[in-house]
Amino acid sequence: MAPLPRVACFHGGGSSASIFAAQCDALQKHLSSAFEFVFFDAPYERDAGPGVLPFFSYEKFGPYRTWFFKNESGAEVPDGRRDGGGGEGGIERVLRMIREKGDGGEWVGCMGFSQGTRIVGGLLLHQQKRREMGFQREEGEVDFKFGVLCMGSFAPMVSDLTGPVMSLSGGPDLITIPTLHLHGTKDVNYANGKKQLAAYYDRKTARLLEIDYHHAMPWFRADLMKFVDGIESIYEDSQDD
């Protein structure tokens, strides 16, 4: 039996891979015959994020993590490195983590919740820029067909490739790889999610699903099935390209 296509999943700030997996339990059950969802932990520890406690206790689900490092003044380092700029960049680190998962199904998509949507955007922008600049695809290099951004906000994480390009151009190119954006109309990030979509994604290839929900993955059956249909649809359409 052929392995299922894989979706790389990135949790929100102050969360963890195990928490995001639990939040996606119902989604995974509905798509268990279509995809393997693989959850990754961010590199830095921090306090619990919004909505994490008391259900996701530190003893069972900790430590809580973040994809971005903040310097002594509280400013975020946009490329996912520690303050000072040395070592491996955040997007490069994530791509290495994906490669280290080894053999299995093709990596077809990436999905993030809240802060994790910034990893999704960073991965897609990095991949898109490599294509535009004529880089040959290396053996084992992932080629995402779609991205899913859940309750997101703010800019994509920059890579060693996209950071300098954005500095020269004054801003990012719009991401044209197909994306599905899940917004909750009761989410504290609702307005910022709309700004994220408008600022960084091409509306010709970006799809929007709004549900009457707060800052959480969909759980009510009607909302969940719309979300399931959206993921299935964007993947099916990618197979026609």
State the pLDDT at residue 202. Answer: 96
Q: What is the DSSP letter of 230?
A: H
Helix axes 90-99 and 116-132, enclosed angle (nearest 10): 90
Alpha-helical (H) ranges within 100-189 are 116-132, 162-169
Find tokens 């600049």 and name the residue. Answer: 133
The torsion defined by the Cα of 220, 226, 195 and 118, in degrees rounded to 10, comes to 80
- Could you give the CA distance from residue 235 to residue 173 in angstroms, rounded to a whole number? 23
State the pLDDT at residue 176. Answer: 96
Could you tell me the CATH superfamily of domain 6-238?
A: Alpha/Beta hydrolase fold, catalytic domain (3.40.50.1820)
pTM of the model: 0.95
State the pLDDT at residue 13. Answer: 97
Beta strands in the chain (DSSP E): 6-10, 36-40, 44-45, 65-66, 107-113, 146-150, 179-184, 206-211
Q: Which mean pLDDT values do the consecutive 10-residue runs of the chain (241 residues) have?
A: 95 98 97 98 94 92 95 87 82 96 96 98 95 85 96 94 64 88 97 96 97 95 98 93 64
Domain boundaries, the chain: 6-238
